Amino acid sequence: MEKAAAEKAAPLELLGSWASSYTHRVQLALRLKGLEFEYAEEDLGSKSDALLRHNPVYKKVPVLVLPDGRALAESAVILHYLDDAFPAARQLLPADPFDRAVARFWCHFSDDKLGPAVGAVFASTGEEQEAAVRQVHENLALLEAELREGAFKGRRFFGGDEVGFLDVVLGCGSYWLAVFEEVTGVQLVDAEAFPLFHAWLRDFEAQEEVRETIPSVDRLLDYARGLRQMLLAMAGGAGAAAPADAPTAALPAPATADIAVDI
């Protein structure tokens, strides 16, 4: 088919950052759909001309560059686009309009509530951190309730039997929970308090395409430790402990808004 040949000739290009959960969303979506793509790692401390040209509004990753040179930014927008543009490939959003609305609602929740709360835990200490932890627990409790008796009752994944849109959105970011727990010493996802969420995350992380996408725990820990030091230093935090194994790899400049240290 001509279209398939055209797609093979000039594949999709993804501009991303290896530690960005938003980038991972798109990588995972592309892999789940079996769509070929080229990946270009962005140095967020020194952004490429291509990134600035393709995403002048936010100057952030991920950016999806299409074969004809047009580009799209914002991970949720890109995920919707991939469903729309490749109807023959595996669809991530559910088919039913009400189910789609539910998935979109919780995607907003992840980006507007849960993500920032987790980020706040990571960027703070003492009482401020305690308040942020309570917020995370409240948010996780809402998701746990939906898994237990609400919209996602009885499902292995948010998408049903298979990973779908909301799994990609929540999952690419939830791996930070265990990492942040280790780095801050704070408990975020207790298997006893959130058994269904915990089980879902374990099943999600075991998926082949997910394992191909999410960086190793060691790399994430390294990165998180360095970032935590930097954030606390910026905040003048007294509680920042200097880790014995400070990362030797160069970290991006402290443009924390770009570093997707959020769910």
Which residues are near other proteins by CB under 8 A? Answer: 57, 66, 70, 72-74, 76-78, 80-81, 84-85, 97-98, 100-101, 104-105, 108-109, 142
CB of 28 vs other proteins, minimal distance in Å: 18
Please, which residue, 164 or 226, has the CB nearer to other proteins? 164
CB of 150 vs other proteins, minimal distance in Å: 10
Please, which residue, 98 or 236, has the CB nearer to other proteins? 98
CB of 102 vs other proteins, minimal distance in Å: 8
Residue 2 burial (C-beta neighbours within 10 Å; 0-12, 13-18, 19+) = exposed
CB of 219 vs other proteins, minimal distance in Å: 30
Q: Is the peptide bond before 195 cis (omega within 30 degrees of 0)?
A: no
CB of 143 vs other proteins, minimal distance in Å: 10
Please, which residue, 59 or 100, has the CB nearer to other proteins? 100
Please, which residue, 43 or 112, has the CB nearer to other proteins? 112
Sequence-ordered alpha helix ranges (H) in the chain:
2-9, 21-33, 49-54, 75-85, 97-109, 115-123, 126-149, 165-184, 195-206, 208-213, 217-235
- Integer Cα distance of 52 and 40 in angstroms: 14
Q: Are 26 and 172 in contact (CB under 8 A)?
A: no
Please, which residue, 115 or 226, has the CB nearer to other proteins? 115
Please, which residue, 56 or 126, has the CB nearer to other proteins? 56
Please, which residue, 50 or 66, has the CB nearer to other proteins? 66
Q: Which phi and psi angles does 15 have, rounded to 5°?
A: -95, 125
CB of 170 vs other proteins, minimal distance in Å: 15
CA distances from 223 to 39, 129, 167 (A): 21, 20, 24
- Candidates 23, 17, 93; CA nearest to 48 is 17
CB of 72 vs other proteins, minimal distance in Å: 5
CA distances from 220 to 182, 200, 207, 223, 246 (A): 11, 20, 19, 5, 13
- Integer Cα distance of 252 and 142 in angstroms: 34
- Integer Cα distance of 243 and 223 in angstroms: 12
